[in-house]
Amino acid sequence: MDAFKPAGRIYQASIIIENKIYFLGGLNSANISTNDLFYLDISSPFSSIKLEWTDLTSIAPIPVKSAFSPACVGGINNSTIYLFEHRLTDNVNSTTLVTFTFDLTSQKWNALSKSEITPPPRQNMKAVVDMNGKMYINGGYEPYTTFKSNNNTYIFNSLSNSWLNDGPNSPVIRSAYTATLLPSGLIVYIGGIHDFPNGVYPNKTEDYHLVEIDMKQISIYNTISGNWSSMEATGDLIGTRLSHTAVLSKDGTTIIIYGGGSGNFTVTPEPSLAALDTRVKPYKWSSITSKGTFSPPPLAYHSAQIIENYMIVAFGALFTTNGFNLATGSNDNVYIFDTSKYEWITSFDLTKNSRDISNDQEINIPLIAGLSSGLFALIIIASIIGCIFYKRRYNYIATPGTNTGELNYIATPGTDTGDRCYIATPGTDISDRKYIATPGTDTDDHKYIATPGTDDRDRERERGSENLNLN
């Protein structure tokens, strides 16, 4: 039996769960929506040359033919895929946005009931989920008649499977953009298109030009305060684009964009790769000069997900002499970009990092043990030298029963000096009983090596406090 290999497509949804990238729907080369569901497992050593796909379409097809529709992962156990569609069935358009859920455990689809605040149908927008299971949808366009874009904000609670009251409108109308959640709770919206001129979608036979949004014009939604803000980014000049992708780097501060189309999809935007630094205010753009011989051709309508330092790019339309055209240039390949080195590669191994950490720990254990043993030996040697020094100086060694009085002396092991058997170090005043316990000494029996400045009366007080705490 031949291994499953999905055909090229555009406008598919993709999400990452643990070490699996799921792909949902998309338009095939005949420009027809599909109900495909499949995933790519990247937990084992992963190669873009030898891909191992798993097809779920035969057992769990999407309930409708899907494209242009965003998906998120949420739910109580974070094990449910949410797909936001504009159709009830393949042939019936919906008057509201339809939420389909896919349970990863049971592998069953379900359509959630609509409520009074269910949003109207939309297409070509993004959905972003925060740490509390809330999903944020902004913009997109009406898919049936007017094709008019909007700037409405919709919030869905995946823990209760219900829509919340709408958020405020965004400062910019967008479709075909990217939306990236930062650890701070800010969602950063980049690129895409405005509404059509005068808000009217032209006849498809007419020559029209999509109104692209300047890449410096950043919209930001604060999921904590529920407020919008705008920012004009600085740095390198980044060409306008739509149907591009964006991922957040491992350190959570840099947004990396790739691909997309411009000039009504007749131009490849430059640079193809760019990074937006969110550590500075205003945010700053930098063009990326990548290396590696395994770089993809110009792509638009593709997918991108990131795991660790690796951005995985899949599907999309290739650029031909006539621009981005799915019918003449469909991509069915997968590409890997190492965001830490800005290099296109063919493979990575997530398990290698775990092994490296384990090996470091194994190396450190004997190293720490060796250092501890060496320190203990130095203490013993210093004590012996102290004994010899004092023996020569005072020529006096206390024996059991000796009355020490106020004399400084070197006590021998087992000497009874008030049930305190210890070896004094230079400068120790036995009448003041200044000492410190040696490693492994049972302090309850008061067997120590004395060092200058230690007061056993303070130690008695400390032991008393310890006993109170234990009781």
Query: Rounded to whole angstroms, what are the CA distances from 58 to 15, 25, 401, 441?
Result: 20, 13, 92, 70
Q: What per-residue confidence (pLDDT) applies to 91?
A: 82
Provide the pLDDT for residue 271.
Answer: 98
Burial of 236 (0-12, 13-18, 19+ CB in 10 A): middle
Is residue 180 within 8 Å of 192, Cβ to Cβ? no
Residue ranges for the chain with pLDDT beneath 70: 1, 196-209, 353-471
Q: How far is Cα 210 from Cα 265, in angstroms, rounded to an integer? A: 9
Tokens 């969602």, located at residue? 187
Domains delineated in the chain: 13-355 (2.120.10.80), 373-470 (no CATH)
User: What tens digit of pLDDT does each residue of 398-408 get?
Assistant: 444 444 444 44
User: Which pLDDT score, from 0 to 100, does residue 307 have?
Assistant: 96
Residue 327: predicted pLDDT: 72
- For residue 215, give the amino acid letter: M
pLDDT at 358 (0 to 100): 37
Q: What is the pLDDT of residues 136-146, one digit of tens each?
A: 999 999 999 88
Prior bond to 269 cis, omega within 30? no
| Predicted local distance difference test score (pLDDT) of residue 202 | 53
pLDDT recorded at residue 183: 98
pLDDT value at residue 66: 97
